[in-house]
A = this chain, B = another copy of it.
Amino acid sequence: MTILRHTPKGEIQERSALVINPAKTCQPIGAMYAALGIHGCLPHSHGSQGCCSYHRSTLTRHYKDPVMASTSSFTEGTAVFGGQANLLTALQTIFSVYDPKVVAIHTTCLSETIGDDVPQIAKKAKEEGKVPEGKVVFHANTPSYTGTHVTGYANMVQSMVKYLTQSTDETSEHAAILPGWVEPSDMREIKRIVSLLGVEYVMFPDTDGVFDAPMTGKHVFYPKGGAKLEDIARGGDAKHSFALGHVATTAASEELTKLHKVPGTVVDLPIGIAATDRFIEAMRAVYGFEVPESLNDERGKLVDLLSDMEQYLWGRKVAIFGDPDQLIALTEFLGTMGMVVRHIVTGTESKYIEARLKEVNPEANIKVGGDMFHLHQLMKNEPVDLLIGNTYGKYMARDEDVPFLRSGFPILDRQGHQHFPTVGYMGGIRLVEQILTLIMDRIDRDVEEHKLELQM
């Protein structure tokens, strides 16, 4: 018996209209995640109640932590007459009831279809005194019918640059780090690495300490974490910006150059040895530091692990789905491990990504703008030894009896992602450990009893 029993093996029917089991979701949730990476920020969803409710629920299930955001609660009338009234009331209510430092508004398919002019409404709110002194309201356009959740993240980060960064005349040495959509643990690790490199920096967004808040007996409405407004502002004075992940951060990086002449380097997400090397090289090209011994040691430990474990990884087939920036770095790293990535699917369409993936894995079946139904068909036609993707992959993994590494967004049925990074060299060690464990567990489960091994 299988769970996804209607997914056929054999020839794959092209589909032009119907998406089945999406490998993506819509922009606003990405905007909400990014906005929560600002300290004291309340994300606001300009649309129907359901959007906000769905985004909060999904983020909550992923993090098992509170996720606070408000909505314009559109009704039939709003859909006809537009959302201005609702947004004005909302802003007034928000500041009086939840007292945020910042409100980060993102739009929805509804408000975009209606055509609400959010900046104009925000302006009006200020004029009508609905926005208290010193409070900040800004917005990003995140129409659900273009791009994906990653685009929403990218747009919100670009808006942070646009509305929240400033440049003074004083030139400054610090770097601006613009992380792609990664976990709080990854944000923390990126900061640790940059600190080890001895480079002063500002980083935004920063969800470290936001979605992994301690249990204290109190609900801290605005968690300790998040990039401070004043730090974001300093992004405009940065000597150079380093954007991690092309799809999620290029727009912000270019915005920073455009607005404040801050030169920027966009690198892949620092997942795996090569990508982390490139990130550090990119910073070294600007700051010319000596890479500290401690970091070389972390790298050396990862290389050591790989060289010692190479025989267990070599030649094993992998299917992977997820978001483009992760896919590029991960498939490259899997190659470094000697694994063979056979099927790659991302829901986000992007010529650039398609080209990069082909470059990293010329042999693989690559579907950019595809869905999990398609991936499952590929897996049925050519089975793999490991599946990597978000929690929705578990049904395929069980049907095909394939070891399954949870990676990406959302992870609804396991814990750890918010606490342990997968970026950087130490993150690489964690990834290799996880993959090795999956592979060895499967061997220990399936191997004939007289072949059960004591040692690796």
Q: Are B437 and A430 in contact (CB under 8 A)?
A: no
C-alpha gap A432/B419 in the complex (Å):
12
Residues of B within 8 A of A420 (CB): 420, 430, 433
Q: Are A301 and B454 in contact (CB under 8 A)?
A: no
Closest Cβ–Cβ distance, residue A420 to chain B (whole Å): 7
Q: Are A214 and B296 in contact (CB under 8 A)?
A: yes
Whether A416 is near chain B, meaning CB under 8 Å from some CB there, is yes
Q: A residues 52-99 with Cβ under 8 Å of B?
A: 61, 64-65
Q: A residues 250-270 with Cβ under 8 Å of B?
A: none
Q: Are B3 and A299 in contact (CB under 8 A)?
A: no
Asked if A455 meets B413 with Cβ closer than 8 Å, knowing A212-B301, A300-B216, the reply is: yes
Which of B298, B307, B394, B453 is in CB contact (< 8 Å) with A413? B453
Q: Are B444 and A416 in contact (CB under 8 A)?
A: no
Q: A residues 385-425 with Cβ under 8 Å of B?
A: 391-392, 394-395, 398, 412-416, 419-420
Asked if A303 meets B214 with Cβ closer than 8 Å, knowing A308-B64, A419-B433, the reply is: yes
Closest Cβ–Cβ distance, residue A330 to chain B (whole Å): 19
Q: Are A412 and B456 in contact (CB under 8 A)?
A: yes
Which of B213, B415, B449 is in CB contact (< 8 Å) with A1? B449
Q: Are B214 and A444 in contact (CB under 8 A)?
A: no
Which of B2, B61, B415, B436 is in CB contact (< 8 Å) with A436? B415
Chain A 427-443 interface 0/1 with B at a Cβ cutoff of 8 Å (1 = within): 00110110011001100
Q: Are A419 and B456 in contact (CB under 8 A)?
A: no
Closest Cβ–Cβ distance, residue A409 to chain B (whole Å): 14
Residues of B within 8 A of A215 (CB): 300-301, 303-304, 307
Number of copies of this protein chain within its complex: 2
Residues of B within 8 A of A413 (CB): 440, 444, 453-456
Q: A residues 163-195 with Cβ under 8 Å of B?
A: none
Whether A199 is near chain B, meaning CB under 8 Å from some CB there, is no
Whether A20 is near chain B, meaning CB under 8 Å from some CB there, is no
Q: Are B415 and A455 in contact (CB under 8 A)?
A: no
C-alpha gap A85/B369 in the complex (Å):
76
Closest Cβ–Cβ distance, residue A8 to chain B (whole Å): 18
C-alpha gap A23/B332 in the complex (Å):
43
Whether A196 is near chain B, meaning CB under 8 Å from some CB there, is no
Residues of B within 8 A of A303 (CB): 214-215
Which of B3, B214, B298 is in CB contact (< 8 Å) with A449? B3
Whether A297 is near chain B, meaning CB under 8 Å from some CB there, is yes
Residues of B within 8 A of A455 (CB): 61, 391, 412-413
Closest Cβ–Cβ distance, residue A85 to chain B (whole Å): 37
Residues of B within 8 A of A305 (CB): 64, 415, 419
Q: Are B304 and A213 in contact (CB under 8 A)?
A: yes
Nearest residue, chain B, Cβ from A456: B413
Asked if A415 meets B444 with Cβ closer than 8 Å, knowing A300-B214, A303-B215, A449-B3, the reply is: no
Whether A309 is near chain B, meaning CB under 8 Å from some CB there, is yes
Nearest residue, chain B, Cβ from A448: B1
Asked if A394 meets B444 with Cβ closer than 8 Å, knowing A214-B296, A415-B436, the reply is: yes
**Mind listing 30 A-B residue pairs with CB under 8 Å?**
A3-B452, A61-B455, A64-B305, A212-B301, A214-B296, A214-B297, A214-B298, A214-B299, A214-B300, A214-B301, A215-B303, A305-B419, A391-B454, A392-B454, A394-B452, A394-B454, A398-B445, A398-B449, A412-B456, A413-B444, A413-B455, A414-B440, A414-B456, A415-B432, A415-B433, A415-B436, A416-B433, A419-B433, A420-B420, A420-B433
- In the A-B complex, the 6 residue pairs with the smallest Cβ-Cβ separation, listed nearest first, are A214-B300, A215-B304, A416-B433, A412-B455, A215-B303, A64-B308
New A-B contacts (17) at CB < 8 Å, excluding given A213-B304, A395-B452: A2-B449, A61-B455, A65-B304, A213-B301, A214-B296, A214-B297, A214-B298, A214-B304, A215-B307, A301-B419, A412-B455, A413-B453, A413-B456, A414-B437, A420-B420, A420-B433, A441-B441
